[in-house]
Amino acid sequence: MSQPRTRVVIIGGGPGGYEAALVAAQLGADVTVIEESGLGGSCVLSDCVPSKTLIATASLMAAMEGTKDLGIRFDHDDAFAGGAADAPRIYARIRDLARAQSADVAARVAREGVRVINARGRLARPGVVAVGDTELTADTVLIATGAHPRELPGVVPDGERLLTNRQLYDLPELPSELIVVGSGVTGAEFASGFQALGSQVTLVSSREHVLPHEDADAAMVVEGVFRRRGMTVLSKSRAVSASRTADGVEVSLEDGRTVRGSHCLLTVGMVPSTEGIGLAESGVAVDERGFIMVDRVSRTFAPGVYAAGDCTGVWMLASVAAMQGRIAMWHSLGEAVQPLRLQHVAATIFTEPEIATVGVSQQDVDSGKVLARAVMLPLATNARAKMDGFSDGFVKLFVRRNSGIVLGGVIVAPRASELILGVSLAVEQQLTVDEIAHTFAVYPSLTGSITEAARQLMQPVDDGSR
Ligand SMILES: Cc1cc2nc3c(=O)[nH]c(=O)nc-3n(C[C@H](O)[C@H](O)[C@H](O)COP(=O)(O)OP(=O)(O)OC[C@H]3O[C@@H](n4cnc5c(N)ncnc54)[C@H](O)[C@@H]3O)c2cc1C
């Protein structure tokens, strides 16, 4: 007699949910995904994919700015001057691409035999998920409901002038004077992108520098580029309110100043989508900010109920959400599983230039938490960077003091998101600087600076410590 199939019900079809569904289906489970918007989730439909699509156009525009220096003459000299972005076409492309990506995800899960219910789901009790009046029983439930943009108290985004990142792509035009409130990753990315597209951008930062939680050297490079390209960066300026004026917006700062512009984009954090879905009633604990509490194999406090992705607040990245979802399924379906390791997550901030990081941080080293040596090589002296016509950026490597094992790195460069893989591999495989130094890099190439950094770190310092 064959064993009955394990029933898995997943609430939320973003990377946390759909990647889990694929693993569970592969392992023979009977899988249902309940998704109220569209497969791919906010990641595909409103957040990650749309923003990176906008930034793809913006990067090309930024690259075009340097074409004169590379010896290219256009018949119409101002072909790439500000204002050349065709905003309706850019937004239409973004919406089309997001829909197409969502359809690809839907087709993939359908091929694997996953059932999808387009509705809102809630946990009725452990082992039972309610969709309207219907109750679905499950051996395993995964909650992957994501998060949504936080709003400033008293400011209601209207989708016309006062905007969250999810309302940008329905605008009829490019914001001429965009005020971005918040200088974290999302704020910095949009400020960079819209500036390259031709908006006059003011970035309102409550902190001394933009990207306060990132590598300080990297943040300084990016802030320097922002200012040089004409962005107004208001540091130590906390926005307390934003409102519409007759023809635009006005943002009030804590110190009494006001900033005026055509549009205001609020990027002041994300709130977990965990309210009204029956968590407390089912014994699923949330922290004081509403994030679901999970262990490293994605278990909540309720038996048989797992959670993955932004609703857990572990690290708001699509890759982390997907890994948490897969781990939940491997664990619940009895497979060997390695608990989530955040030390090796590669992440990128898609500004111009990009900042890519992996492994330990400068802060870990400076605070003495990790005993490491570091080297930082500016890309200004890299031959390929010169040929490509840029000078803002660097490669930084952290290696264990005596053994020389690579512990982490930071790359600031165009397409740093692609370049970081070599460092990620080194961290994951515990390669030493000697091994990197003996690896061939192409000449000329930006990755040549990674092997050069490793060469500079080759001699271990024998100071008696480990
Ligand atoms: C502007 C922006 C840019 C980003 N860029 C990147 C990037 O470049 N790289 C990166 O790795 N990450 C990026 N992120 C983060 C990334 O988007 C998230 O980490 C990722 O979406 C998390 O996936 P998730 O599955 O947890 O949630 P989501 O993608 O938010 O999906 C959750 C889904 O659950 C559904 N849902 C919620 N409640 C219910 C319910 N009760 N019933 C049914 N369905 C429900 C929602 O409709 C949604 O579709 C970005 C985020 C933002 C805001």
H and E: helices and strands count for the chain = 13, 23
Average pLDDT in the 39-62 region? Answer: 97
pLDDT band at residue 83, thresholds of 50, 70 and 90?
A: very low
274 within ligand 1 shell (Cβ under 6 A) = no
Q: Specify the pLDDT at position 73.
A: 82
Chain-wide mean pLDDT for the chain?
Answer: 95
Ligand 1 pocket, 61 CB below 6 A?
no
CB distance 313 to ligand 1 below 6 Å:
no
Residue type, 436: I
User: With a 6 A CB cut-off, is 277 part of the ligand 1 pocket?
Assistant: yes
pLDDT at 305 over 70: yes
Alpha carbons 243 and 259: distance in angstroms, whole number: 11
**Percent of the chain beyond pLDDT 70?**
96
The pLDDT of residue 84 is: 80
Cα diameter, the chain? 77
60-74, 364-378, 398-412: which has the minimum mean pLDDT? 60-74
**Is there an atom of ligand 1 within 6 Å of 321 CB?**
yes
Q: Do 129 and 135 meet the contact criterion of CB atoms below 8 Å apart?
A: yes
Q: How far, in Å, is the centroid of ligand 1 from the Cα of 190?
A: 17
Looking at residue 177, what is its pLDDT? Answer: 98
DSSP letters, 75-110, are SSTTTTSTT---HHHHHHHHHHHHHHHHHHHHHHHH
- Pairing mode, if any, of strands 115-117 and 30-34? parallel
Residue 429 Cα to ligand 1 midpoint, Å, equals 30
Alpha carbon distance 463, 466 (integer Å): 9
Strand partners, 260: 250
Q: What CA–CA distances, in Å, run from 9 to 18, 34, 175, 339? A: 11, 8, 42, 22
The C-alpha torsion from 387 through 392 and 398 to 404, rounded to 10°, is 20
Q: Specify whether the CB–CB gap between 140 and 304 falls below 8 A.
A: yes
Residue 76: per-residue pLDDT: 64
Q: Would the CB of 316 count as within 6 Å of ligand 1?
A: yes
Mean pLDDT of 32-44: 98
Ligand 1 pocket mutation pick from 33, 39, 42 by most atoms within 8 angstroms of CB: 42
Please report the pLDDT score of residue 4 as a whole number: 83
Q: At 299, give phi and psi (nearest 5°).
A: -80, 135
CB 338 within 8 A of CB 353: no
Give the single-character DSSP code of 181: E
Given the CA of residue 312, which atom of ligand 1 is nearest to it? 26
Identify the sign of the CA torsion 224, 225, 227, 231: negative
Q: How far apart are CA 135 and CA 133, in angstroms?
A: 7
Q: Quick one: pLDDT at residue 65? A: 82
pLDDT given for residue 131 in this prediction? 98
